[in-house]
Amino acid sequence: MVDESRAMNVSWRDYVDTRFDASEKAVASALAAAEKAVAAALSAAKEAVTKAEAAQSKRDDASNEIRGAMVDQQKNFASSEKVDGLGARITALESQQAAASGKSAGVVSVREAITWLIGAAVFLLLIWDRVKGQ
């Protein structure tokens, strides 16, 4: 009962002031905690951005290196003009080869004909010799 009587002796104004002071301290404490949390989040975000930029820079360097290698490799490829020129040369060589093959076939045919004629002449001479010798 002593506590109740004591509580009754406090004026309404003191009670409100005490409660207001307690609320003000609680709000200030919550605000300070929120500011710390925001500062920590901002710091973490800045660190994340820095790391992401570094990673992107590495990716860009690797991509540029690959692109450079592809350009160097492409320099070794034949151009369409060279390929077209080679196609024309191949066609010309095929034509020459076909013509030479035809000529050599003709030479072989002539050789065969001459060999046949010589053989026939020798045969006829042998027959002539036998007929004459009888």
Cα(39)–Cα(103) distance, rounded to whole angstroms?
A: 95
Residues 123, 104 share a domain = yes
The span from the CA of 32 to the CA of 8, in Å, is: 35
Q: Give me the half-sphere count of Cα atoms (radius 13 Å) on the Cβ side of residue 111.
A: 6
* Displacement of CA 94 from its chain's centroid (Å): 38
pLDDT higher than 50, residue 1: no
> How many domains does the structure of the chain reveal?
2
Q: What is the pLDDT of residues 61-113, one digit of tens each?
A: 999 999 999 988 888 887 777 777 787 888 888 888 877 776 666 666 777 88
Separation in Å, CA 80 to CA 20, 21, 52, 83, 94: 88, 87, 43, 5, 21
Task: Return the number of other C-beta atoms located less than 10 Å from residue 17's C-beta.
Answer: 11
Longest alpha-carbon distance in the chain: 179
Q: Are residues 108 and 125 in the same domain?
A: yes
Q: Are residues 67 and 9 in the same domain?
A: yes
DSSP string, 11-39: -HHHHHHHHHHHHHHHHHHHHHHHHHHHH
Q: Are 11 and 69 contained in the same domain?
A: yes
Band the pLDDT of 17: cuts 50, 70, 90: confident
Q: What is the pLDDT of residue 112?
A: 84
Structure tokens at 42: 């901002």
CA dihedral 15, 19, 20, 21 (to 10 degrees): 100
103 and 73 housed in the same domain: no
Which are the contacts of 110, defined by CB distance < 8 A and separation ≥ 6?
A: none
Same domain, residue pair 12 and 71: yes
